[in-house]
Amino acid sequence: MLTEEQVAFYNEHGWLRIPQIFTGEEFRELDADTESLIQAWTQEVMGWTGPWRKVYMDADTEARSKLVVLFEFQLFSAAWTRAVAKPALAEAISQLLDTPNVELQQSTLHAKPPSTGQPFPVHQDYPFYPHTNDRFVDVLVHLDNTSDVNGEIRFLDGSHKLGPLQHVTSNPDGTPCTPHLPTDEWKLEDTVAVPAKAGDVVVMNINTIHGSYLNRSDAIRRMVRLGYRDPTNHQLSGQNMDRTGMMVLGRRPKEDGDSMFRALYPEQYRKAKADKEKTEDIKNEVDVVAG
Ligand SMILES: O=C(O)CCC(=O)C(=O)O
């Protein structure tokens, strides 16, 4: 359980480090599974795109900069299934979201390869998976110790209070790029460094502005982001839209007009509803024409 001071710190600053949530054999299993999943399923990719790359990196670094990504860890490893539903973690999230019900929305590995691991431009997570309100917490599970050398997470303190901000979403030539905040207005230098130990988690509000520097060390820096929400906080678009998440605490409340079909298969539900409305529109038109 978090203390009142920890919850108040999160509400004030928009982030919180919770030490040693994963320890001992549990941590060793996560560490080993992550390593084996990276070997089996991932490849190094160029990573996030956009004009920020030329501001954050010189030409040579930019050309070499890489990222390793894997989504939905709990679908690849039983140790991760247990980890995402760990009761102590779920209880802590429930306190931060101020809800008895907690739903997992996604999980994403961001691993920065040695020497070239991509920096992250300052951004909010909101544009990647917008929701109707900010009862959404991102949990960064640290698999390695982090510091200035390997690119620890950094926050613009208290920035969650600004609410969702307009992000840059296209390159100068009009092609789409990864959402990030304009580099002339929002600077990584203004952020607070939050170094952490392997096994710690660092949590943040969906609207907290954050980023990180390049990994300059000779070892990989691995972090798994777990997104949790109050199940009545509905997603509007983006990553994992229309995927029903696993409940890790409490129960899914039934809302007005809800049904089991809608809760289990939101995409099919929306399509079926749109088809029905279309059919009804056609029928209405026919009725009008037929007089
Ligand atoms: O892995 C990092 O350093 C930053 C991750 C991040 O920006 C995110 O998960 O949204």
The rounded Å distance from CA 128 to ligand 1 centre is: 12
Q: Which of 110, 226, 239 to mutate to test the pocket of ligand 1 (most atoms within 8 A of CB)?
A: 110
Whole-prediction pTM value?
Answer: 0.93
Q: Which of 186, 220, 225 to mutate to test the pocket of ligand 1 (most atoms within 8 A of CB)?
A: 225
pLDDT at 102: 98
Protein residue closest via CA to atom 10 of ligand 1: 125
* Alpha carbon 85 to chain centroid, angstroms: 16
- Please tell me the distance from the alpha carbon of residue 180 to that of residue 167, in angstroms, as a whole number: 5
pLDDT at 114: 94
Q: Which residues line ligand 1 (CB under 6 A)?
A: 110, 120, 125, 151, 153, 210, 212, 223, 225
Sign of the torsion angle spanned by Cα atoms 28, 32, 34, 35: positive
pLDDT at 279: 83
* Alpha carbon 3 to chain centroid, angstroms: 24
Q: Which of 187, 194, 188, 211 is nearest to 147 (CA)?
A: 194
Look-up of token digits 């995927």: 243
Nearest ligand 1 atom, CA 108: 9
Q: Which of 110, 106, 182, 189 is nearest to 146 (CA)?
A: 110
pLDDT at 291: 62
**Gyration radius of the chain over CA positions:** 21
Q: CA 166, 105, 22 angle in degrees (round to 5)?
A: 110
pLDDT at 288: 75
Helix (H) / strand (E) containing 269: helix 266-290
Q: Which residues of the chain have pLDDT under 50?
A: none
Nearest ligand 1 atom, CA 123: 7
| Per-position b or e across 147-173, b if 16+ CB within 10 A of its CB | eeebbbbbbbbebbeeeebebbeeeee
Q: Which of 128, 154, 133 is nearest to 223 (CA)?
A: 154
pLDDT at 8: 98
